[in-house]
Structure 1
Amino acid sequence: MAYNDSRTARPQSGSVANSVSTNKVLRSTYALLAMTLLFSAVTAGAAVALGIQQLNIFVFLIGAYGLMFLVHKTANSAAGLLATFAFTGFMGFTLGPILSAYLALPNGGVLIMNALAMTGLTFVGLSAVALTTKKDFSFLGNFLMAGAIVLILAMVAGFFFNIPALSLMVSAGFVLFASAAILYQTSEIIHREGETNYIIATVTLYVSIYNLFVSLLSILGIMSND
């Protein structure tokens, strides 16, 4: 009987350990995410204050993807934190020209606040669904891969053809894509023992929130004829 008891205790001990590890990753991820979002708000405000009206597309691509690469290369070291703040600070700075353009509109401030509120509520709601239901959303992985390809092609088309309806469709597509990414990443932390790097998880969620905010702001602008 003692032998059987010790055998049955092992899975329970392992389950408790996994639960503790998951909770630790979640806490670290959300704490770092909150700090990076705050830092992004500061750099975005600095860009607006400096009067940055536009950012070269090549500067954006090199900065965003270069810093993203740096984050992944240093994610397992202390330098990963510095790379994360460098990346999120840069992304926040790129919001400056967008926010300045909206603030120049009669109701631009209201649109920005509405987009912020909708982004926050969407993130909290989706995170709550993943955390409370404990449902495995790994099936969204294929959807995200296919969605990324479709969105890239749609953005290229939108670059050459200035069609408001296409812009609305792309923005709506990014809202769905970002929402699915939030569910997927949160689920990966909960259900995948290999997802223990809170820096990678933070950056993934940050990019989803960034895309969600910009897309919602674009939709609100189009819907209000701005």
Structure 2
Amino acid sequence: MAQFDTIRSAAGARAAQIDEGLRAHMNKVYGTMSVGLLITALAAWAIAGLSITSVPNEYQIGADRYLTELGYTLYVSPVKFVLMLSPLAFIFFGWGALMRRGSAAVVQLGFLAFAAVMGISMGTVFMIYTPYSIAQTFLVTAIAFAGLSLFGYTTKKDLSGMGTFLMMGVIGLIVAMVVNMFLQSPAMMFAISAIGVLIFAGLTAFYTQDIKNTYVAMATHGDQEWLDKAAYDGALSLYISFLNMFQFLLMFMGQQE
């Protein structure tokens, strides 16, 4: 009986240790994601300021609003396709290699660099939409994200079955967006935006539960280097979900300049 109590006490202590480690792990995930969003916002705001001028030139985009040479290069010239596709290329081809071969510090640096590039590509948000509508949409996105992530963390329901279905939805969404670049259909863009919000809302809950389950499954191995990289991987997943929800909601809620 004494031996059983000892085993039970050891198991309880181990469970408490894992719970404490999980809280620290999730804090690191959310903290890293938040830093990434801040870098993206600052980069987008800064590049937008450098891309717009009130000095008349041939690149007029609105009343008393003109593109600078930098703005034209980034958002009108063929460079825009490089800027648009480089984040996708990094996610699909570069991130996996970085996770396999890079140290935790290198993975963290890769995430922060990715956030900066995303900010440059999103400079048009500050060029097109009013500051009030950007702030309003960000607040709505943050509230929705917090609720969805909390659900993913606390629910007892296994959400793993959603993963494959939602990722197929993301691929379909990308294809539809590429097609609509040529069609320029407002109705199709509305449908893409609505479906996009739903897909990334589901992915927020799915990723949160997956991050939690992965930590619990691997914490007993004590590989801190791997756990650190897993935290940055989770931060990237939630960062992408948040950013996409924000952009799709902005299409509904945003007021243009």
Class of the TM-score when normalised by the shorter of the 2 chains: 0.7 to 0.9
Residue aligning to 2:250:
217
* Per-residue CA distance 1:177-196 (angstroms, 9 max, x = gap): 11111101111122232494
Gaps of 5+ in 2: 52-70, 220-226
- Alignment check: 8 A CA contact 2:207 2:234 kept: yes
Cα deviation, residue 80, structure 1? 1.3
Residue aligning to 2:184:
162
Equivalent residue runs for 1:188-207 within 5 Å: 188-192=210-214, 193-194=217-218, 196=227, 197-207=230-240
CA distance in 2, matches of 1:65, 1:188: 23
Structure 1, 170-179 or 195-204: larger mean CA deviation: 195-204
CA distance in 2, matches of 1:142, 1:59: 28
Residue aligning to 1:19:
19
Letter in 2 for 1:74: L
Structure 1 14/185 Cα, relative in aligned 2: closer, same or farther at 3 Å? same
Structure 1 85/67 Cα, relative in aligned 2: closer, same or farther at 3 Å? farther
- Alignment check: 8 A CA contact 2:153 2:205 kept: no
Gaps of 5+ in 1: 103-107
Cα deviation, residue 163, structure 1? 1.3
CA distance in 2, matches of 1:79, 1:117: 31
Equivalent residue runs for 1:89-168 within 5 Å: 89-102=116-129, 108-133=130-155, 135-168=157-190
* Per-residue CA distance 1:126-165 (angstroms, 9 max, x = gap): 1222334454422221221221232123223312212111
Residue aligning to 1:105:
none
TM superposition outliers: structure 1 runs of 4+ over 6 Å: none
Structure 1 69/18 Cα, relative in aligned 2: closer, same or farther at 3 Å? farther
CA distance in 1, matches of 2:167, 2:181: 21
CA distance in 1, matches of 2:90, 2:21: 31
Cα deviation, residue 68, structure 1? 6.7
Structure 1 29/17 Cα, relative in aligned 2: closer, same or farther at 3 Å? same
Cα deviation, residue 203, structure 1? 0.6
Identity of aligned residues (%): 27
- Alignment check: 8 A CA contact 1:25 1:189 kept: no
Cα RMSD, aligned residues only: 2.4
Are 2:219 and 1:186 equivalent residues in the alignment? no
Letter in 2 for 1:152: I
Structure 1, 179-188 or 129-138: larger mean CA deviation: 129-138
Structure 1 67/150 Cα, relative in aligned 2: closer, same or farther at 3 Å? closer
